[in-house]
Copies of this chain bind each other. A is one copy, B any other.
Amino acid sequence: MSALQSNRFNSKLTSQCQSCSLSALCLPIALADEDVNRLDQIIERKKPLKKGEVLFHQGEEFSSVYAVRTGTLKTFNITNNGEEQITGFYCPSELVGLSGIDNNIYPISAKALETTSVCEIPFSHLESLSNQIPSLKSQIFKVMSRKICDDQQMMVLLGKKNADEKVASLLMNLSGRFKRRGYSAVSFRLSMSRGEIGNYLGLAVETVSRVMTRFQKNNIIQVNGKEVTIIDLPAMQKLVGIAEDCVRIDTV
């Protein structure tokens, strides 16, 4: 809690990272104040992306990872037959672009779903800074490890779940992410279209639509366009599979 008040001990120069409301969730977590300042210095705040603008393109040379400040991004892969497969949605404080490290090329594109601002973190700088700050290095390991966990959960979803369970899982996942950022866990706005939801979940648009209206008829959720309210939480948890305990799907 108190960690949320990021500049409680701040003294002299408060870095932007320290005054950022996301610092408790983002990369600076677990860093000493002076280390946050050093991290802060390698970060570039870019001007916000408009809806539909691309942050980086699949195939482009990898240079930076990005932390979302406000708004939402989607990442996607263009498959051989030209269709797009969405691989993730990214909310504020989440890190995009880690998959580019391996081959020094982004294997996916990242596009803004709404007006979105990001912090650019040049990876070469981050890497050398991580030589000097072991806790930063550990933090990067953790972030990457979590991404691997999340992706594995996603595989379970795609491989084993039916349409109802898929949609419920996405909604509950988003709910959890909003909650952790201090927003309502039961009432929120979807920044992605039905088509994007379907693409992401491996479902047709029509199926997504049908599932959501059915959920609504059964008083499980309340839907109004992009506005969603979760009404019957137990029902949702049951659909997701309750035991979400040891696993935290983070980057949907």
Given contacts A130-B137, A137-B130, A141-B140, contact A79 B241 (CB under 8 A): yes
How far, in angstroms, from A59 to B247 measured CA to CA in the complex?
10
Query: B108 near A152 (CB under 8 angstroms)?
Result: yes
Which residues in chain A, 78-133, are within 8 Å of chain B measured between CB atoms?
A: 79-81, 83, 85, 87, 98-103, 105, 107-108, 127, 130-131
- A1 surroundings in chain B (CB, below 8 A): none
How far, in angstroms, from A202 to B162 measured CA to CA in the complex?
11
Chain A positions 188 through 222: 1 when the CB is less than 8 Å from some CB of chain B, otherwise 0: 00000000000111100000000000000000000
- A243 surroundings in chain B (CB, below 8 A): 80
Query: A155 near B152 (CB under 8 angstroms)?
Result: no
Which residues in chain A, 123-181, are within 8 Å of chain B measured between CB atoms?
A: 127, 130-131, 134, 137-138, 140-142, 144-149, 151-156, 158-160
Q: Which of B85, B105, B149, B201 contacts A102 (CB 8 A)?
A: B149
Query: B105 near A201 (CB under 8 angstroms)?
Result: no
Residue of B nearest to A100 (CB): B145
**In this assembly, does A77 line the interface, its C-beta being within 8 Å of a C-beta of chain B?**
yes
- Between A and B, 12 residue pairs with Cβ closer than 8 Å are A80-B241, A85-B155, A85-B160, A87-B152, A98-B144, A98-B148, A99-B149, A100-B145, A107-B247, A131-B137, A155-B155, A159-B202
Instruction: Please state the number of chain copies in the assembly.
Output: 2
Query: A241 near B81 (CB under 8 angstroms)?
Result: yes
- A160 surroundings in chain B (CB, below 8 A): 79, 83, 85, 202
Of A83, A108, A147, A248, chain B has the most CB atoms within 10 Å of the CB of A147
**In this assembly, does A13 line the interface, its C-beta being within 8 Å of a C-beta of chain B?**
no
Residue of B nearest to A83 (CB): B160
How far, in angstroms, from A172 to B203 measured CA to CA in the complex?
26
Interface size classification for chain A: 35 or more
Query: B149 near A107 (CB under 8 angstroms)?
Result: yes
Query: B77 near A156 (CB under 8 angstroms)?
Result: yes
How far, in angstroms, from A247 to B140 measured CA to CA in the complex?
23
Chain A positions 227 through 252: 1 when the CB is less than 8 Å from some CB of chain B, otherwise 0: 00000000000000111001110000
Given contacts A107-B149, A155-B158, contact A242 B102 (CB under 8 A): no
How far, in angstroms, from A58 to B247 measured CA to CA in the complex?
11
Given contacts A79-B156, A156-B79, A241-B80, contact A145 B145 (CB under 8 A): no
